[in-house]
Amino acid sequence: MKPKCLKCLKSIAVPARFQIFYHLMKAGNKNSSVSSLVKLTGLRQPTVTFHLNQLQKAGLIAKNRVGKNVFCRLAAHCSHCPLYA
Report pLDDT for 45. 95
Residue 79 identity (one-letter amino acid): S
CA dihedral sign, ordered 55, 60, 65, 71:
negative
Any idea where the domains of the chain sit in the sequence?
10-84
| pLDDT tens, position by position, 32-63 | 999 999 999 999 999 999 999 999 998 889 99
User: Per-residue pLDDT averaged across 19-29, rounded?
Assistant: 90
10-84: CATH topology is: Arc Repressor Mutant, subunit A (1.10.10)
Q: Which of 8-12, 45-49, 59-63, 79-83 ranks highest by mean pLDDT?
A: 45-49
Please list, in sequence order, all residues whose beta carbon lies within 8 angstroms of the beta carbon of residue 82, skipping any fewer than 6 positions away. Answer: 1, 5, 9
Report pLDDT for 65. 93
